[in-house]
Structure 1
Amino acid sequence: MDSKKDQLLALIAHNPFISQQDLAERLGLSRSAVAGYVAALTKERRILGRAYVLPGARKLVCIGGSNVDRKLRGLEALQMGNSNPARLSESPGGVARNVAENLARLGLQVQLLTALGDDAAGRYLLGHAASVGVDSSASLIAADAPTGSYTAVLSPEGELVLGLAQMDLCERLTPDYLRQCAAQRAQAGLTLVDLNLPAESLAFLLAEAAEEKAAPLVAIAVSAPKMARLPKSLEGLSLLILNRDELAAATGLVLAEDEPATLQEAHEALAARGLQRLIVTQGAGRVFFGVAGQALKSLKPPATPVVEVSGAGDAFAAGVCAALLQEPEDLAAACKLGLRLARLTLRSEHSVSPELSPELLLP
């Protein structure tokens, strides 16, 4: 017969939220005996801290924006100040949400913590997440505000001309909400956050990571204006992924085109604030990456035909995170997988390429 400790572990595996009182009653033990077994299992790393999280249940946790993307693609060269004929398409969107779907299509376990309205758009996003394997069951649902939306105006070639985002609900992803999601966040092998979050929530997550109370934390920029949300101290931030304009906004530096020395200066400025690793994307240009205290390295993305640019940056970030979950120290390999996913997305009309599959993670 299994030992009481093994029986207790089996009950926890069946229901990670079971109380110690329930465990005591089901096993015929005292409450103090159960507490002793839980402490022993935690010390043995057979359960992980609060909420009885089992090691095999580790997930990628994505925190940030979800919205409905509306893309208006011009049928002819766009003329500002005039009415232009266009083709409209709608799809799920949002940086954190897009990254989560990319990861799920790679066959990884993903938890999405986001904010949605109690409306048709919100229900559509919840249903779509479930259909692709993203667990968004702990998301905040607001009855008094609409689900976010993002409208992209694209040129006939698929390049972004203008983007308009209505993401007010993300302001409700507060530290209190994050505390309420402690059980879900405790399952993370890696946590990814986008900068749609309020500044105080970003500071809360960085403080947790700096105290080693949480999984490695990766932040993805959303836009240059939202770089102001990034805390001054970046202690606890394992990796920051952004583009050249966002890097300039984060550092206040003028970053000249085709001058890696200016990127290195910005890299050193962020490292001085506590950032561990940095990745800078430049569209079709070179991707720069590096670790604090070292010179930036770079990769040249292979040329690829562009159907549409929407979602390519999110696909890149998803590839980086998926690779780091397997090989945490190999930033070059992470960038290579990110570029591979971005290339597939650029060749697709979708914000998340339907060609993604678990085979992309094979050696």
Structure 2
Amino acid sequence: MTAGFTVVGGVNHDEILTLSGDPGPDGTTDILAVHQAPGGHAANTAVVLARLGHQPCLVGAVGSDQAGERLLAHLAAEGVDTGWMQVVPGAATGRAVIVNAPSLHHMMLHRAANDALTPSFPDSRVMVVFDPPPAVLPQAVAAGQTVVVNPGGRIAAAHRALADRRGGIVLVANRTEWAQLGDAAADGYAAVVVTLGAEGCRVHDADGWSAVPAVPAVEVDATGAGDAFTAGLAAGLGAGLPLRTAAGLGALLGALAVEAPGATGLPGGAELARAVSERADPAAAEFLLGGLQCS
């Protein structure tokens, strides 16, 4: 049986620190707020897909600890299929400490059980691979018909691991990650999307590079914005939308994500439908509202 959407990659417990100012060497900065929440790029992406009305399958690894148990329960409650999740005996569940300061957003990551993920995936109509161990990349992308890969900080290793498969992949990276490769690397991929935060994104396909504008947003917490963007992009591509329209859908979901605290602050249900009807371009709104009405 072929799954609709499968997401492969990181599952973590997040601790998000909001600082009063930018930290400097040998100084002290006050912490204004501490927010703890389920996280991990792949887990966040799967939750957003579920809130869009899909039933995504998540393939990731957690430790045999209470944090892992809580994460699995949270994902199941969100409507994510956890039947392919792996519990690693004796390992700790991944943990991320995320710092939000006035001019700084930084993540410190203890991958732990995530790096013990073994390659076992369902065949899928849309495969989203987000920050996985590079060793599982080739098998993961082979299991999808439409494949979106967001390798995060491991982009150089992923680029090498995908040398023979790039022609069937939509690669997603932020500007810092993409700088490790450079624009010349785009020619080998089916498409490349480079996210630029409040400046929108750049997309590359057979017609070359073009720009997709951002959706204006009042930022509260940027955590998870890239995950929401990737979910929107994948949902659009899976529905057959053109690359630029799918990227615009990702931009909308990213904007909604930054307007709420936490990695999955994106609203669901009626609130999401209202935001979509007010702020999405017509093609993206028609697609999204149709999915939300069916969920």
Normalising by the smaller structure, the TM-score range is: 0.7 to 0.9
Instruction: Say yes or no: does 1:168 pair with 2:126.
Output: no
Given that residues 191 and 203 in structure 2 are in contact (C-alpha distance below 8 angstroms), is that contact kept between their aligned partners in structure 1?
Answer: yes
Partner Cα distance (1:286, 1:140) in 2: 35
Q: Secondary structure at the match of 2:109?
A: strand
Q: Is the aligned partner of 1:227 residue 2:156?
A: yes
**Alignment partner of 2:261 out of 342, 346, 349:** 349
2:193 matches 1:279: yes
Tell me the distance in 2 between the aligned counterparts of 1:174 and 1:65: 13
Report 1:1-363 matches (<5 A).
Answer: 53=1, 58-86=3-31, 87-155=33-101, 157=102, 160-175=104-119, 178=120, 181=121, 185-186=122-123, 188-197=124-133, 199-206=134-141, 208=142, 214-223=144-153, 225-230=154-159, 231=161, 232-235=163-166, 237-249=168-180, 251=181, 253=182, 266=183, 268-272=184-188, 275-291=189-205, 293-328=206-241, 330-357=242-269, 359=273, 360=276, 361-362=288-289
Identity over aligned pairs, percent = 27
Any idea what the Cα deviations from partners look like across 1:157-207, whole Å, max 9, x if unmatched?
4x54432101132222233xx2xx4xxx12x2201001332x23112334x
Measured in 2, the distance between the counterparts of 1:196 and 1:121 equals 19
Q: What's the CA shift for 1:89?
A: 1.0
Deviations 1:251-275 (A, max 9, x none): 2x4xxxxxxxxxxxx1x53323xx1
Deviation at 1:76, TM superposition (A): 4.3
SS of residue paired to 2:198: coil
The count of residues paired between Structure 1 and Structure 2 equals: 272
Which one has the bigger strand percentage? 2
Q: 8 Å contact 1:306–1:347 — kept in the other structure?
A: yes
CA–CA separation in structure 2 for the residues paired with 1:283 and 1:122: 31
Q: Distance in 2 between matches of 1:79 and 1:190?
A: 43
* 1:137-172: CA deviation from partner (whole Å, max 9, x where unpaired): 2211012110000001111x4x54432101132222
Write the distance in 2 (CA, Å) between the matches of 1:331 and 1:219. Answer: 14
Deviations 1:64-100 (A, max 9, x none): 0000010111134534422322121100111111100
Letter of the structure 2 residue corresponding to residue 204 of structure 1: Q
Q: Residue 226 of structure 1: CA displacement?
A: 4.5
Worse-superposed segment, 233-242 or 107-116: 233-242
Whichever residue aligns with residue 290 of structure 1, its letter is: H
Contiguous gaps of at least 5 residues in structure 2: 277-287, 291-295
- Looking at structure 2, the residues matched to 139 and 72 of structure 1 have their Cα atoms a distance apart, in angstroms, of 28
Deviations 1:35-66 (A, max 9, x none): xxxxxxxxxxxxxxxxxx27xxx421000000
CA distance in 2, matches of 1:296, 1:77: 35
Asked if the contact 1:192–1:219 (Cα under 8 Å) also holds between the matched residues in 2, the reply is yes
1-structure distance, mates of 2:255, 2:173: 17
Q: Which amino acid aligns with 1:98?
A: N
Check the 8 A contact 1:218/1:237 in 2, yes or no. Answer: no
What RMSD in Å do the two structures reach over aligned CA positions? 2.0
The one-letter code matched in structure 2 to 1:228 is A
Q: TM-score, normalised by structure 1?
A: 0.70
TM-score, scaled relative to structure 2? 0.85
Distance 1:236 1:204, change over 3 A: farther
Q: Which has the higher contact order (CA 8 A, sep 6+)?
A: 2
* CA distance in structure 1 between the aligned counterparts of 2:168 and 2:109, rounded to whole angstroms: 26
Q: Which amino acid aligns with 2:289?
A: L
Rounded to whole Å, the distance in 2 between the matches of 1:321 and 1:229 is 19
Secondary structure at the aligned position of 1:112 is classed as strand
What CA distance in whole angstroms lies between the structure 2 residues aligned with 1:354 and 1:309?
11
Which consecutive unaligned segments of at least 5 residues does structure 1 have? 1-52, 254-265
Is the CA contact (8 Å cut-off) linking 1:160 and 1:309 kept in structure 2?
no
Distance 2:200 2:34 in 1: 32
What is the one-letter code of the residue matched to 1:129? L
Deviates further, 339-348 or 299-308: 299-308
- How far apart in 2 are the matches of 1:99 and 1:192? 9
TM superposition outliers: structure 1 runs of 4+ over 4 Å = none
Flag the 1:297–1:77 CA change in 2: closer, same or farther, 3 A: closer
